[in-house]
Amino acid sequence: MNLEGRKIIVNKSSKDLSELLKSPENYKEFMPDGLQKFETREDGFKFGLQGMPEIALKIDEVTHEKAVLKSASSSLDFTLTATLKPLNETQTEVQMLFEGKFNPFIKMMVEKPLQNFINSLTDKIEAYK
């Protein structure tokens, strides 16, 4: 299952964005409304949203071109990638990409909430100052 967020322009360099995305505590700024729990770990974070199970993510790779988060649970196999495309010294195009391996039943249950989550993350990143 693949989902895409819309492409946005962020008024930060890809270098500044990648530095921001290396640190687990910074992800709290981008969480959707309805956040009920957020805890950082050495290599990632765990969060809970209203009406959804808690999700643990580990920061797998951060470069000036992308930030890759992977599921920290062996029962869920997915990655969430933020692509970073520098436009100039102070602007970067960002797009959230989700790739997960789910059976058809799970896919049917999670597809809409995941798309809403990606859309909300995109909105929060776009509004970030």
pLDDT at site 76: 82
64 CB-near residues (< 8 Å, 6+ apart): 14, 15, 18, 84, 86
Q: Phi, psi (5° rounding) for residue 22? A: -80, -20
CA distance 49 to 28: 12
Could you tell me if 31 and 116 are in contact, meaning their C-beta atoms sit under 8 angstroms apart? Answer: no
pLDDT at residue 113 in the model: 87
Which residues have CB under 8 Å from 123's CB, separation 6+?
Answer: none
pLDDT band (50, 70, 90) for residue 8: very high
> Is the pTM above the cut of 0.85?
yes
| Per-residue pLDDT tens over the stretch 71-122 | 998 778 899 999 999 999 999 999 999 999 988 998 898 899 899 999 999 9
